[in-house]
Amino acid sequence: MELTLPDADPQQRRDLARSQWFQYELYRGGALVYSSGHLRLRETRRNDAGELVVSGSP
């Protein structure tokens, strides 16, 4: 799984870089449509647009 997030919050980037696990939820129109299980953090990096990219796997 790879998430691309706006990198507007330096604290969020530091917290994710120190994490071992993460979980995410997807919403559509305010309703929860998917909740992931725990994913082991594999990588955090910035893409060419400066966005934060977080990779993880079960």
| pLDDT, greater one: 58 or 32 | 32
Whether the Cβ atoms of residue 39 and residue 23 lie closer than 8 Å to each other = yes
Tell me which H or E stretch contains 15: helix 10-18
Q: What are phi and psi of 43, to 5 degrees?
A: -165, 145
Dump pLDDT digits (tens) for 20-56: 999 999 999 999 999 999 999 999 888 898 888 889 9
**Residue among 5, 34, 38, 37 at smallest CA distance from 21:** 38
Q: Where are the domains of the chain?
A: 2-57
Residues 6+ apart with CB under 8 A from 58: 37, 38, 39, 40
